[in-house]
A and B are shown apart, each in its own frame.
Chain A
Amino acid sequence: QKEVEQNSGPLSVPEGAIASLNCTYSDRGSQSFFWYRQYSGKSPELIMSIYSNGDKEDGRFTAQLNKASQYVSLLIRDSQPSDSATYLCAVNPTGSGNTGKLIFGQGTTLQVKP
């Protein structure tokens, strides 16, 4: 069973701080990793994709990938109250052929306090 694990939280950080969200995955052959943000009752919204080991930065967001440790993380700098949401880690597993199937973690709820 291919799994994606996240701490459900809530993770509470003060406004302006760095929020660090973590994800581990069981399928060692996975190649593509995604972070989605989901507000309550809404659909997943793509924030970042990462495919290679190392860091990828986009504005206040940095995704980090370590395939040897099967670990993906998302850093949010200068956290704002509007960042309060559930952050979903998603992985494209091996054995999916040419489909873009995603396996999701259960999500980490982030609360940014003013």
Chain B
Amino acid sequence: EPEVTQTPSHQVTQMGQEVILRCVPISNHLYFYWYRQILGQKVEFLVSFYNNEISEKSEIFDDQFSVERPDGSNFTLKIRSTKLEDSAMYFCASTMGGGPNTEAFFGQGTRLTVV
């Protein structure tokens, strides 16, 4: 069964360092997303991406964050200068379509720990 894959599963980084989280969406899906979940809290939308452009982003997704599809398969989230409060699980998701009535499938997540 097709699945979304994320690497690494766990990343530890020092405050102020840049991190890149990687995702390979399901191959015939066209819309890609990043969500995060701080320990014990809700899953929060960060950004959606379609046709090599950001289609929507949340207030959390500030100038420290960027996304890119560097090739035909990978979708990345970059955090330029990590803060302690960026420590969270980051989930990549993909959907076939972009409107309502479209089911999102999530990767297994990357646990980011900022020390």
Task: Say whether A and B bind each other.
Answer: yes
Q: In the complex, A5→B110 CA distance in Å? A: 26
Q: Could you tell me if B42 and A100 are in contact, using CB atoms closer than 8 angstroms?
A: no
Q: Could you tell me if A100 and B102 are in contact, using CB atoms closer than 8 angstroms?
A: yes
Enumerate chain B residues within 8 angstroms of A107, measured Cβ to Cβ.
42
- Number of CB contacts from chain A to chain B under 8 A: 73
Q: How far is the CB of B103 from chain A (nearest CB, A)?
A: 5
Q: Could you tell me if A99 and B91 are in contact, using CB atoms closer than 8 angstroms?
A: no
Q: In the complex, A106→B37 CA distance in Å? A: 10
Interface segment, A16-24, A38-46, A66-74, A77-85? A38-46
Nearest-CB residue, chain B, relative to A105: B42
Q: Could you tell me if A101 and B45 are in contact, using CB atoms closer than 8 angstroms?
A: yes
Q: Could you tell me if A43 and B107 are in contact, using CB atoms closer than 8 angstroms?
A: yes
Enumerate chain A residues within 8 angstroms of B108, measured Cβ to Cβ.
42-43
Q: In the complex, A98→B56 CA distance in Å? A: 9
Complex interface bits, B73-115 against A, C-beta within 8 A gives 1, otherwise 0: 0000000000000000101000101111111111111000000
- Residues on B close to A: CB < 8 A? 31, 33, 35, 41-45, 48, 50, 55-56, 89, 91, 95, 97-109
